A and B are shown apart, each in its own frame.
Chain A
Amino acid sequence: MAAKFGFACTIYMGAEDVHRQRPNVFWMEKLGATVVPVTTGSKTLKDAINEAFRDWVSNMDTTHYVMGTVCGPHPFPEMVAWFQSIIGKEARQQILKSFGRLPARVYACVGGGSNAMGIFQGFLDEKDVELIGVEAGGKGIATGKHAVRLAAQDASPGVAQGYKTMFLQDSDGQMLDTHSVAAGLDYVGVSPILTDLWERGRVRFEAATDQEVMAALDLTIKKEGIIPALESTHAFVQAFKEAGSLSPDQAIIINQSGRGDKDIFTIAHAFADPSWKAFIREKGAEYAAY
């Protein structure tokens, strides 16, 4: 957007995420953005949001704050939800056209919740369409290394980053570190709009572990010939778990919020791919020789 309109653009990104999502950083820089790695706190999304706020309050006269997800102070959650609603509108039209009826279920991964809010808005008023948000189970809920705010009991109500929702926090109200193989789901809070939909029973929440995600990714690549992002693959995990309970005349939608290209380093590492590793070593040696 900034490149298209000729705006100067600064992106705050957790230092850990800069490392994990290096291809995204490369493309953002190519598009003309300045990417600032944030080294405070957990060095992930939450800390990047804090730094973006600090920049914004310092440069309010000349700068717009663009929130990457359906969180933050009013009116950002509603703004982002509205921008993302195009996904649900189009998905609804497309499934009616290709399948002739509404889906039985819609699955979406939930970090902050923007892709989920986007697609769910196409079906919110349809009582027969079940909406399922899938959070990052990380290394498993029992380990505490996860980002499950709604699908388990670990989170509690809190107020931070300008909004009230369920946060992963300790009994003093200090935010906890989260973990996920998918940088985009590795966040302590969740959209207050989704929390409301969850409280009212409109959206069901589930969690997928890192390990389940890698298995589902492998399956999706081999059987469907597509490469979903690690974030999106969380939605695939849950859909695969539940697909067996559908009748042949029912359909589901899985929201593929992004492509896995950006995750090539993480995915290749997780699959311990020997030829990829050899290639990286070779490239490393090539650059080291300059």
Chain B
Amino acid sequence: MQLTDTIRARKAQKDILLMTHLVLGYPSFAVNREVIGQMVENGVDVIELQIPFSEPVADGPMILKANQEAIASGVKVRECLDFAAEMAACHPIPFLFMTYYNILFKYGVGDFIKKSKEIGIQGFIVPDLPPEEGEEYLRLCGEHGLAPIQIFAPTSSEERMRTLAGHGQGFIYCVARRGVTGSKTEFDRPFNDYLARCRRATELPLAVGFGISSREDVAALRGKADLAVIGTATIRLVEEQGPEAVGPFLAGLR
């Protein structure tokens, strides 16, 4: 089943889905394995695996640090692919790659997409690739049935949202506020207006991320978004309390 259908099917069972995120190789693949196990056990619906890149411009301090430390400890793209293959083979939920375009470009865009398909990855989030520059990427994602997830931001006009949605599959990643990953988002009037604009621009499911870290945050998205994305919060939790804290945290979100 393609990602969009999987998400719709899951959404029919729950009032909001959870997508979690982690940086591959940070603090280690062993900890990643344990954290992913807990995510799956606690009902996470989609997992975003970030392949570290040295210049993660869309990421705030926590994820930036995770990227840089993973690279400094010698994490290679090939190891990330092998690890993702292992995860996709042993867990029954969709896995996506999040990374920056240079990682695909250096690997070879075609080879990267083919390899991702082979190992059971279902889509990509590439925040620094606007669709106008990603013709080959979009075409090959289409050919291999992988979802090139597009990103809306509060600064996107409705026209831009429609253009982006026209290139997207799986879901739309709605960046909750201006800025980078990590800091707090206010779920106020302007935020609700923004989500309403997102909703009008596309039929695809909407994921909302950036600054979502609590049960209240997730509750605020119920009825307005299809997926809540938890990124920095779990990385920080693993850092402060160890991987075993992830399960109870996730269980308490819904």
Give A residues with C-beta under 8 Å from B: 40-41, 46, 50, 53-54, 57-61, 156-162, 167, 169, 171-175
In the complex, what residues of B have CB within 8 A of residue A46's CB? 55
In the complex, what residues of A have CB within 8 A of residue B139's CB? none
B177 shortest CB reach to chain A, Å: 8
Could you say which interface size class chain B belongs to?
A: 20 to 34
In the complex, what residues of B have CB within 8 A of residue A159's CB? 101-102, 105, 128
17 contacts between A and B (CB under 8 A): A41-B54, A41-B55, A50-B55, A50-B57, A57-B58, A57-B180, A58-B178, A60-B155, A159-B101, A159-B102, A159-B105, A160-B100, A160-B128, A161-B55, A171-B106, A173-B103, A174-B54
Say whether B68 contacts A40, CB under 8 Å.
Answer: yes
Q: Is the interface of A mostly helix, strand, loop or mixed?
A: mixed
The verdict on B27 contacting chain A, using a C-beta distance below 8 Å, is no
B154 shortest CB reach to chain A, Å: 9
Q: Which residue of A lies closest to B103 (CB)?
A: A173
In the complex, what residues of A have CB within 8 A of residue B178's CB? 57-61
The verdict on B76 contacting chain A, using a C-beta distance below 8 Å, is yes
Kindly list 4 other residue pairs between chains A and B, CB separation below 8 angstroms, not including A159-B105, A172-B76, A174-B54: A40-B68, A53-B57, A156-B106, A169-B102
Q: How far is the CA of A224 from the CA of B54 in the complex (A)?
A: 43
Q: Which residue of B lies closest to A158 (CB)?
A: B102
The verdict on B71 contacting chain A, using a C-beta distance below 8 Å, is yes
Say whether A174 contacts B180, CB under 8 Å.
Answer: no
Question: From residue 63 to 89 of chain B, which have CB atoms closer than 8 A to chain A?
Answer: 64-65, 68, 71, 76-77
Taking a contact as CB atoms closer than 8 A, the residue among B64, B103, B106, B155 that contacts A40 in the complex is B64
Q: Which residue of A lies closest to B128 (CB)?
A: A162
The verdict on B107 contacting chain A, using a C-beta distance below 8 Å, is yes
In the complex, what residues of A have CB within 8 A of residue B106's CB? 156, 158, 169, 171-173
Say whether A172 contacts B103, CB under 8 Å.
Answer: yes
Q: How far is the CA of A109 from the CA of B182 in the complex (A)?
A: 39
Q: How far is the CA of A159 from the CA of B60 in the complex (A)?
A: 20
A85 shortest CB reach to chain B, Å: 26
Q: Known A40-B68, A162-B128, A169-B102; judge A58-B180 contact (CB<8 A).
A: yes
The verdict on B179 contacting chain A, using a C-beta distance below 8 Å, is yes
B53 shortest CB reach to chain A, Å: 7
In the complex, what residues of A have CB within 8 A of residue B54's CB? 41, 174-175
In the complex, what residues of A have CB within 8 A of residue B56's CB? 50
Say whether A160 contacts B179, CB under 8 Å.
Answer: no
